[in-house]
Structure 1
Amino acid sequence: MDSDPPQPGQWPVDPQDDEPQILKERMWVDGCFDFAHHGHAGAMLQARQLGNELYVGVHSDEAILANKGPTVMTLDERIAAVEACRWATKAVPHAPYNTQLPWISHYGCFYVVHGDDITSDANGEDTYRFVKEAGRFLEVKRTPGISTTDLVGRMLLCTKGHFIPALDTGLQHPQHGAQMLECIQQYATDQTGLHPGAEVYIWKADVEAQLHLTKETGRFTKFVTGNRPQPGQRVVYVDGGFDLFSSGHIEFLKRVNQAESGKAHIVAGIHNDEVINRYKGMNYPIMNIFERGLCVLQCKYVNAVVFGAPLAPSKEYLGSMPVGTISAVYHGPTEFLPMDYDPYADAKALGIMKQIPDHPYKHVNASEILGRIEKGRAAFEERQRRKGQKAVVEGAIKAEELIARGQ
């Protein structure tokens, strides 16, 4: 059960003003935000498009445990993920699980935005019932096919059905291709969610070349036109799988941005599913390249994305980068990769290799997260079971809501 709103001076995050005016242009969204998947980013994008600012409430570990089940990521990690989203203005920790009018009013927000699904609390009641009754609720589309529950299920069941050979192959799908294209174009927008932002490229080469097993080169194709580097601006390159887009990835990108004083044009290369599966095995990656790409695109520390990037960025690859001359290549720890060669040998030979120093989240990757799931397997399996039961109740609430609207 949620406690009473904090008293003045006790709120988790101070508003921008001592007595904030309630603004219809300042949107509020809230949630668990466990895993930084693109469904969360999609909700924040749509909410940001409805106003000029977006405040994001993040529930505590304890509130989520009581109403839904255990979290995989800690509150600090979940806050960091929200703050890294290019459409979020401010993250507010410890937001109540049942959205409260005093909370959103305290932060100067008039409207609460949520997807067109129902979220219920431990008692089976709609968590947004108070703001709906007050006429301060706006509904947007829920991102289909992705959720924290779905990702946990992939890990528990070791499924591979989510893999796609490459982004361009996925875009040719007769049923999902158009939707994928629209998503990428939307996620490549700037901080307003309305104007061009990140540029998007596809690098096409066979798997052997992507794994650095042959010297065959690929080719770049521009997929989405966005903001180009400014004259004289440094262009830096990072790459990786970015699977489950964890706190380790987010902190790495943040520190690359800081190392360049926030002034560089950061290009992120993302490896294909088959490439990752070749060297990690099992059912990795947990997210396919489309899902991982959207996670990277929504991050405010990234200015351009290359889908299908090679595992080893060669001189030829770096030299043909369509965004301009690469001034630096950054990477984090790669000791866990079972390789008999140095994937960054060419970048080192060019004298542009940089390494980010150790940081508190350097160990957090997809393997670490899978370990957390396995450690608490019984609890997470119970969470999956409870989610299935709640879905029945939430479906009934949604049906009643649609009947009341005359739909």
Structure 2
Amino acid sequence: MASGGSGSEGDASTTLLTYKVVKGCAILAASAAAIWLGSEVWDRSCERYAGTGRKGSQWVRKNLRYKPGSTTEYLSKVLKQHSDSRKKRRPRIVYMDGCFDMMHYGHANALRQARACGDYLIVGVVSDEEILKNKGPPVFSEEERITMVKAVKWVDEVITGVPYEVTEEFMRMLFKKHKIDYIIHGDDPCLLPDGRDAYELAKKAGRYMEIKRTEGVSSTDIVGRMLLCSHQVSPFKRSKRHLKTKSMDKIEHDFSLGGSDDECEDEEYARGSEPSTPRAQTKLSNFMPTSRRLIQFANDVSKADKDSVVIYIDGAFDMFHPGHAKILKAAKELGDYLIVGVHDDDVVSKSRGRHYPIMSLHERSLSVLACRYVDEIIMGAPQQITSELLTTFNISIVAHGTVYESAAEDGQYALAIENGIFVEIESESDLSTREIVRRIVSNKDSFEAKFARKSKSEAEYYKQKTYVIEQ
């Protein structure tokens, strides 16, 4: 009996010990989880309110009546230091997607702002099928749009074939596979055909950040510039029969010359002479260039060393497209430092026609500056290669592609050829600004309908927009 009782007491003590060990482990695990959760909540709160600006927390400044030398200044600095410290531990990964059709400096500026919101930017390029379903036909193919996005210097990674709507399934993939912290979009609405917000789920999840849209330009605006020109080259007085038989070569010729409402232009064109009553040049750009914008785009530019191999390439770079990106990449591979000369508007108009360039000098310069292969630009560069140009910038190689969108001036590269520093690069693409114009004009009805829809939404945006601080 005594022996049996002793065994029962031993079992009970073992059970009690096991219980205490399990209880202790559970308490320890719960404490660790509570500490981790509290730390995560604190980090997320500081991420939201600390901001990334040099002057500290924007939230503190906006909501707590920030005053230099006060408690709010101290709090702002503490939050900023915590945000910077957390960045060193784990980079913030942000995501932005888009169609990126008719890539322009507005797209590039959106990507620049998105990159400023984090430490690593992943960009999703919407598929052709999704664009056609939600917006209408794109001008550029998916491959061409991907090439353009990869060429932007603020982009760290590109994923392709993404949906137009950020669905729950797609958002889960972004969070788990790509470790995305925030999904970013401009302050302009992005609506689906049924009127829903394409980023509604991201906003509800609290993982959405908004940046300022770049005003004065959009893909719709650029298409509108070309459509207006195409209207000017399709005179109202011409008969239906004549319009039906008008060739694409004739349309492009009229576009470059500016067109006229006078039917006699066709007769003069048929005789091989230039129209006697040319239409004035069309300029539709609403862009207001500022020194700050140029500095923002040039902020990664470094200086060339004395021994650096400096490459120079010039051109109009109108409607910056994949052909431009590829030739600039090839040019950069020839040396250490790439300088791009961007010709003045008058020079481009003289060689290509009065409706060119589609984009102004400042717009074209920003597009070139946003390219990751470019180190420096010369705005309004001379058309002729001069001794002064070569000496001032210590140019070792003058390059040009095999595709010339406009004929070179007599002796334009004579000095470079004479000095044995001219290199002609085999162009990987034969795409040109004129080809882009042809794509728009040949499918004019579809683009006009798309332009009409987007113009209404953009007009509504500008009517209701409020001031937004740009990153």
TM-score, normalised to structure 2's length?
0.65
Q: Note the C-alpha offset of 1:305.
A: 0.8
Q: 1:394 to 1:130 in 2, by over 3 A?
A: farther
2:347 is matched with which residue? 275
Q: List per-residue Cα deviations over 1:125-165 (Å, max 9, x = no partner).
A: 1111110111111111100011000000001112722469x
Separation (CA, whole Å) in 2 of partners of 1:247 and 1:96: 23
Q: 1:103 to 1:43 in 2, by over 3 A?
A: farther
Large movers: runs of 4+ above 6 Å? 392-396
2:249 is matched with which residue? none
Give the 3-state SS of the residue equivalent to 2:319 in structure 1: helix
CA RMSD of aligned residues (A): 2.2
Give the 3-state SS of the residue equivalent to 2:92 in structure 1: strand
Structure with greater helix percent: 2
Tell whether 2:296 aligns with 1:186: yes
Give the 3-state SS of the residue equivalent to 1:122 in structure 2: coil
Separation (CA, whole Å) in 2 of partners of 1:162 and 1:375: 21
2:310 is matched with which residue? 235
Separation (CA, whole Å) in 2 of partners of 1:358 and 1:186: 30
Tell whether 2:365 aligns with 1:256: no
Give the 3-state SS of the residue equivalent to 1:328 in structure 2: strand
Q: Note the C-alpha offset of 1:69.
A: 1.2
For the Cα contact (< 8 Å) 1:41–1:298, is it kept in 2? yes
Look up the equivalent residue of 1:186 and give its one-letter code. Answer: Q
Q: List per-residue Cα deviations over 1:306-336 (Å, max 9, x = no partner).
A: 1010122222322223xxx111011013555
2:174 is matched with which residue? 104
Match of 1:28 among 78, 91, 95: 95
2:398 is matched with which residue? 329
Separation (CA, whole Å) in 2 of partners of 1:95 and 1:393: 27
Separation (CA, whole Å) in 1 of partners of 2:100 and 2:365: 18
Q: Note the C-alpha offset of 1:339.
A: 5.0
Match of 2:368 among 263, 275, 296: 296
Residue-pair matches, total: 322
Q: 1:265 to 1:147 in 2, by over 3 A?
A: same
Q: Note the C-alpha offset of 1:60.
A: 0.7
Matching of residues 1-400 of structure 1 within 5 Å = 25-100=92-167, 101-105=171-175, 106-158=177-229, 160-162=282-284, 176=288, 180-189=290-299, 197-198=300-301, 227-260=302-335, 264-321=336-393, 325-333=394-402, 335-338=404-407, 341-359=410-428, 361=429, 363-391=430-458
For the Cα contact (< 8 Å) 2:149–2:155, is it kept in 1? yes
Separation (CA, whole Å) in 2 of partners of 1:330 and 1:163: 30
Give the 3-state SS of the residue equivalent to 1:29 in structure 2: strand
Q: Note the C-alpha offset of 1:231.
A: 4.5
Give the 3-state SS of the residue equivalent to 1:109 in structure 2: coil
Q: Note the C-alpha offset of 1:62.
A: 1.2
Q: 1:295 to 1:278 in 2, by over 3 A?
A: same
Separation (CA, whole Å) in 2 of partners of 1:148 and 1:275: 25
Q: Percent identity?
A: 36
Separation (CA, whole Å) in 2 of partners of 1:64 and 1:163: 26
Separation (CA, whole Å) in 2 of partners of 1:40 and 1:327: 33
Instruction: Note the residue ranges of structure 1 that are not aligned, 5 or more in a row.
Output: 1-22, 165-169, 171-175, 190-196, 199-226, 403-407
Tell which has more relative contact order, 1 or 2 (C-alpha 8 A, sep 6+).
1
Instruction: Note the residue ranges of structure 2 that are not aligned, 5 or more in a row.
Output: 1-89, 230-280, 467-471
Separation (CA, whole Å) in 2 of partners of 1:312 and 1:340: 8
Separation (CA, whole Å) in 2 of partners of 1:145 and 1:267: 27
Q: Note the C-alpha offset of 1:63.
A: 0.6
1:19 is matched with which residue? none
Separation (CA, whole Å) in 2 of partners of 1:42 and 1:283: 26
Separation (CA, whole Å) in 2 of partners of 1:66 and 1:163: 29
For the Cα contact (< 8 Å) 2:217–2:285, is it kept in 1? no
Q: List per-residue Cα deviations over 1:64-98 (Å, max 9, x = no partner).
A: 11111111111111111111111000111111101
Give the 3-state SS of the residue equivalent to 2:434 in structure 1: helix
Give the 3-state SS of the residue equivalent to 2:399 in structure 1: strand
For the Cα contact (< 8 Å) 2:91–2:119, is it kept in 1? no
Look up the equivalent residue of 1:229 and give its one-letter code. Answer: A
Q: List per-residue Cα deviations over 1:203-257 (Å, max 9, x = no partner).
A: xxxxxxxxxxxxxxxxxxxxxxxx2113422111011110010111001011112
TM-score, normalised to structure 1's length?
0.75
Separation (CA, whole Å) in 2 of partners of 1:140 and 1:254: 29
1:194 is matched with which residue? none
Q: 1:338 to 1:327 in 2, by over 3 A?
A: closer
For the Cα contact (< 8 Å) 2:343–2:361, is it kept in 1? yes
